[in-house]
Structure 1
Amino acid sequence: MTRTDREVPQGHPVDPESRIVLGPDDIARALRRIAHEILESNKGAEDLVLLGIPSRGVTLAQRLAVLIEEVEGTAVPVGSLDITLHRDDLRSQPTRTPMRTEIPGCGVDGMVVVLVDDVLYSGRTVRAALDALSDLGRPKAVRLAVLVDRGHRELPIRADHVGKNLPTSHAEKVQVRLRAHDGIEDTVRIAAGPSHVGGR
């Protein structure tokens, strides 16, 4: 599997040939809607845990937690879930450096865990996240929230909460930039790029 646009290091320059499909206001509205959907689905904030998939998924999870607290007046535990050692391309790219998993003190047993990521593509990242989560405990339920669903699934995985369905070709890249992570304005762009085998 080749390196995807979602693994670009922090601070990577924006492709000047790319086009913006979501701006800061669009992203803010999408996250607010996702936060309300999560609360509606869960009938409140009780037993909720948000786990972001590094790297931008963690930033999005933190923003969702703030929005949920604004609505419910209840702080929702937030953490991060490293999937490095559960990826199915680890043999072909064994030099990957594990990131840090941070699980809130409440743990995941008996909780409703919402996995948060920026882009849903083939579904392989989510499969790895489910494997990593199973090592940590037994949640009551697991749901998936993504900012962008770009299609091209290779596994039977579906997001429960989607900010934007964005049909793309394999020959395009989806570039998510978040101010808190990248130091530039929140945007989602589509850029021309080589076809990816596999993906996330």
Structure 2
Amino acid sequence: MNEIIKLSIQEDNLSSHILHTKDEILKPQTQDYSIPPRFDITKIVILPVNPSKFYTYWFIKEDLKKQLENKTLRIKLFVENQEVLDMPVSNTDGELYLYYHAPFKEVFCILCYIENGECVEIAKSNIFIAPSDIISQDKEEVWYNKAKKETTTKPSIYKDEDFIKYGFYTTKKHLNQTPTSK
């Protein structure tokens, strides 16, 4: 591509329809950015994998790591503001999976350490509602178009016989059940 530009510009270095010289056009327009080996922040994030499995990862600032050298860090999982799991972790950046069945429940975690019998919070994660553990037997699927900010419905790809085949019942009692939140 640069060869074509060079050939077209060689005829006249500047004319009424060319606003730049060939050297200006062929000059690289990008800058090199280096990605730091680590981000100097303290943060914990939790993401749902399914209603029973959550992925969490955390970063700790270098100066804070030095302060926490002789302390055992812990990750505490909270469901509906109640502590349900308490796991010791190393005081370096890390990641792990947490297992607790909490469909339709508000979930978050904290990174902390215990000092004098008290939990000292270092960082708190994002909060989310855990996904459903119920397979919908609706006859239509609801799709949301984020660009147009509208919903549409499409016929479900599942048939009643699929639910029977895989052990789900399709009686009127089960078809009318809907999941409850919180």
Same fold (TM over 0.5): no
Q: Which has the higher contact order (CA 8 A, sep 6+)?
A: 1
Structure number with the higher strand fraction is: 2
Structure number with the higher helix fraction is: 1
